[in-house]
Amino acid sequence: MHLAGYRADVKDYYQAFDLFVCPSRREPLGRVVLEALDAGTPVLASATDGPSELLSRHGGDLFPVGDVAALAARLHQHYQARTARTEHDLSAYHIDTVARETLAAYRELTA
């Protein structure tokens, strides 16, 4: 494992990952989960709100928040299975789509 610290070119790193792990105790959206999915990297995340919703739509693996034994077991499973990379349609999360939908909601409210 290598901890590279802050990197401006983080998207390049996702391409090199065999697995992305997000063990957050709280994660309302999980932007990093979206970035990993966008790169096709398999995702293992704690079952917080954001990752649970994202991975239920796009695939991935969850473990209970704070459950170190479950995390270790899932890591071992992914290591043995060599989980494959996959492509995901994440267009619903693109900034242009989100901005358009937000503006439409505001226009509807003010009309």
CATH number at residue 18: 3.40.50.2000
Please report whether residue 102 resides in a domain: yes
Mean pLDDT of 64-90: 94
Please report whether residue 5 resides in a domain: no
Checking if the pLDDT of 2 tops 80, the result is no
Give the pTM: 0.82
* Percent with pLDDT over 90 in the chain: 77
> Could you tell me the residue range of the domain that residue 47 belongs to?
10-110
For residues 53 and 35, the answer to whether their CB atoms sit within 8 Å is no
Checking if the pLDDT of 5 tops 90, the result is no
Distances (CA, A) of 19 to 81, 100, 101: 11, 32, 32
Checking if the pLDDT of 1 tops 80, the result is no
Checking if the pLDDT of 56 tops 90, the result is yes
Mean pLDDT of 88-95: 91
